[in-house]
Chains A and B, each alone.
Chain A
Amino acid sequence: MNSPILLIIQREFLTRVRKKTFLLMTLLAPVLLAAVMIVPGLLASMPEEDKTILVLDEPSILLPEEGTSQFALDYLNPGEFDLELAKQFLRESDKDALLYIPAGNGWDPDFIKRNILLYGKEDIGIDLQRFIERQLEEKINNQKLIQQGVDPEVVTQTKTQVSVKSFTLGEEEGNEETSATPLKMGLGYIAGILIYFFIFFYAVQVMRGVIEEKTSRIVEVIISSVRPRQLMMGKILGIGLVGVVQFLIWVILSGTIYTVVSTFIYPEIFAQQVPMAPDAPDLSQVDQGNIFAMINSINFPVVLGGFVFYFFGGYFLYSALFAALGSAIDQEADSQQFMLPVTAPMIIAITTAMNIVQDPNGPMAFWMSMIPLTSPISMMIRLPFGVPIWQMALSASLLIATFFGVVALAGKIYRVGILMYGKKVTWKELFKWLRY
């Protein structure tokens, strides 16, 4: 264990893993992540309290509906109550709300629907409002149908729902695959976002590490023992290793928590669909019966292999750039002017993720997955949809080639930068260092 680069990797890894913040982050993040997955489901399933609603139903549209065990309907006699009296009655009673349905002239359903009022002693809950709206919509609909001389029963029977089975046609016959677009969208999107966060989080740590060595003035002592490039690579590899360990722990812990909670603690909640983030692909379209066929239609070895490759490829590329940045500045506060140009491609890649998901083989998806600064994210989003081998090979080769190029250049900047103190560096200066 006396090879300098191994010693550096070991130090970078151990000093980080031993920190309390690492332990805290590693253990808390899965709990938070699991919470993000579980809490919406829990909240959504939490029932409102049982309520009794007074109904002043002048046109007798809702009658004889009795409501549910949660929302009981209690009718007032329109002969005895007008709206004011009913409100007064609500105030003095132990009931929770008052629903007022006015008759209007000639019991016109369109007039009725516009003038229904709901009063609550407290705020009206969203569930109660929805319940009332659903009930009334159905009744008013039926009323309208009857007025037009149509039997509502006939309408119910003629309602049709179409569900198209889509396939991906393979080159050869018998090679048709069940299309699993929503699943692929979800998979690509999540994988892309994971890579984005991993690169951002750990590449910035590389930069911080470089700045720390510079500001603590240890760096010249170190590079009188090892080559600057060894120090840079050791740092990148050591921090990458921390990332891999942390990531694996997260995957295992999150999975465990999710499985335990969904199987043993709240199984009924997870039978329902848990609402996802608003812009995430809607997985609810996935048909339960078809799920295995869909899963089989995704080439998992390619997706997984691609994930590992772009995960590391992207991290190495960006961390080399961040190391060069860190070497050029004296404190993190100075990093802003250089950060944006370096991180812009990644931000573009993540903001165009939805476009790529929608057209995974379009020209934008193609070019974004070829350019090495965006390919780790963009190609990852495309992979579940199937990408021609030549494109994968080209994208991977470009990424590897660029990585070596960037390491060579970053190494030059790094070598000069770490020994420069107290100087505000400009882009021009950085290019000059390449020639030293």
Chain B
Amino acid sequence: MIRAENVTKQYGPKVALGGINLNIPKGSIYGLLGPNGAGKTSFIRIMNQITAPDSGTVYFGNRELAPNDIARIGYLPEERGLYKKMKVGEQVLYLAKLKGLSAAEAKSRAKEWFVRLEMESFWEKKVEDLSKGMAQKVQFVTTVLHKPELLIFDEPFTGFDPINTNLIKKEIKRLNQEGATVIFSTHRMESVEEICDHIGLINNGEVMVEGPLLDIRKHYMNGTYAFTTKDEQGFEGKDVLERDHVHTGYTATIKANEYPSGLIQELASKNQLLGFEEVLPSVSDVFIDIVQNGPKPKDS
């Protein structure tokens, strides 16, 4: 859907993007992840043609990104807001018309969304009279109203209350199932782990790793094993990374260089082994691993 080739962007002496390559597959839910200041928003603004790259090319589908593509993108920026003095309905129609919808079409689609998200009563209200949660729903509707092929959410869940977060996640999944490609950009990596199928990790304007989420997590598995047992017996003298008493018994994670068959036998005889798995690292673990040790070669 979106492909970036050697995209660079510099603001004065500060390098925001140092020649990044990204491939965001059509129909994916893609997590653009990295700490604050990594270059995520710079890249998003390039996709939205708010700024132009200094060099490099961005492809939309099979061709270069063109001015008209703006109408095919729905963008919810991190710094988002609405005209406070305008009425909600009027504002939704205005933003939809700016995206190229006709007045009639914008109105019928907006009404549909207002019914779906149970916000019909907002229509005649002024934005300044809405609660924060209500305004968030309105912002979401303005982002998706023109049925964009590509949806971009920058730090989507900051400031959203939990009910709205779930509602919006559900709607985003539905739009994705209907064919939209979705990009989530956030520095809170754990917040999108469950929803994304692809990720790209960015740091200091460089892409560190990119691909299907599960593949990446598997690739960065590092011999950490989690055991669930009845109690602590059998772990004496072992290098336990984390331990915890849970209602089913006791859990411990252990780092091992190879499959820990010895430990399994020992625990089975001394204790009751209730569960055992090799731990998939979280995205944050992967990120920290890469920042500390550099990217892991493909064949290792």
- CB of B80 closer than 8 Å to a CB of A: yes
- Using a Cβ–Cβ cut-off of 8 Å, how many residues does chain A contribute to the interface with B? 25
Q: How far is A315 from B80 in the complex, measured between Cα atoms in Å? A: 31
Q: How far is A285 from B256 in the complex, measured between Cα atoms in Å? A: 106
Q: Mark A203-246, 1 if CB is under 8 A from B, else 0.
A: 00000000011001110111111101000000000000000000
- Using a Cβ–Cβ cut-off of 8 Å, how many residues does chain B contribute to the interface with A? 30
- CB of A251 closer than 8 Å to a CB of B: no
Q: Which of A2, A15, A216, A228 contacts B82 (CB 8 A)?
A: A216
Question: With A11-B94, A419-B50 in contact, do A225 and B99 touch (Cβ < 8 Å)?
Answer: yes
Q: Which chain A residues numbered 1 to 47 have a C-beta less than 8 Å away from chain B?
A: 2, 4, 7-8, 11, 15
Q: Are B77 and A222 in contact (CB under 8 A)?
A: no
Q: How far is A11 from B11 in the complex, measured between Cα atoms in Å? A: 33
Which of B19-27, B83-91, B206-214, B267-275 faces chain A?
B83-91
Q: Which chain B residues numbered 57 to 88 have a C-beta less than 8 Å away from chain A?
A: 70-71, 73, 75-77, 79-86
Which chain B positions have C-beta within 8 A of A222? 95, 98
Q: Are B98 and A436 in contact (CB under 8 A)?
A: no
Which chain B positions have C-beta within 8 A of A4? 98
Q: Closest approach, in angstroms, between the C-beta of B84 and any C-beta of chain A?
A: 6
- CB of B48 closer than 8 Å to a CB of A: yes
Q: Which chain A residues numbered 393 to 426 have a C-beta less than 8 Å away from chain B?
A: 415, 419, 421
Which chain B positions have C-beta within 8 A of A225? 70-71, 95, 98-99
Q: Which of B71, B81, B100, B102 contacts A218 (CB 8 A)?
A: B81
Q: Are A221 and B11 in contact (CB under 8 A)?
A: no
- CB of A432 closer than 8 Å to a CB of B: yes
Chain B's interface: helix, strand, loop or mixed, by majority? loop
Q: How far is A8 from B94 in the complex, measured between Cα atoms in Å? A: 9
- CB of B185 closer than 8 Å to a CB of A: no
- CB of B237 closer than 8 Å to a CB of A: no
Q: Are A217 and B80 in contact (CB under 8 A)?
A: yes
Question: With A7-B94, A217-B80, A217-B81 in contact, do A224 and B50 touch (Cβ < 8 Å)?
Answer: yes
Q: How far is A29 from B70 in the complex, measured between Cα atoms in Å? A: 44
Q: How far is A137 from B95 in the complex, measured between Cα atoms in Å? A: 78
Q: Which of B77, B84, B142 contacts A220 (CB 8 A)?
A: B77
Q: Which of B11, B73, B82 contacts A224 (CB 8 A)?
A: B73
Q: How far is A135 from B99 in the complex, measured between Cα atoms in Å? A: 81
Q: Which of A2, A217, A436 contacts B102 (CB 8 A)?
A: A2
Q: Closest approach, in angstroms, between the C-beta of B255 and any C-beta of chain A?
A: 43
Nearest A-chain residue to B97, judged by Cβ: A7
By a beta-carbon cutoff of 8 Å, the part of chain B in contact with chain A is 11-12, 45, 48-51, 70-71, 73, 75-77, 79-86, 94-95, 97-100, 102, 139, 142
Given A15-B85, A419-B50; 15 other pairs, CB 8 A cutoff: A2-B97, A2-B100, A11-B94, A15-B86, A216-B83, A217-B80, A217-B81, A218-B80, A218-B83, A220-B79, A220-B80, A225-B70, A228-B50, A419-B79, A436-B11
14 A–B contacts from the bound complex (CB under 8 Å):
A8-B98, A15-B86, A216-B81, A216-B83, A218-B82, A220-B50, A220-B80, A221-B139, A223-B50, A224-B75, A224-B77, A225-B99, A415-B51, A432-B12
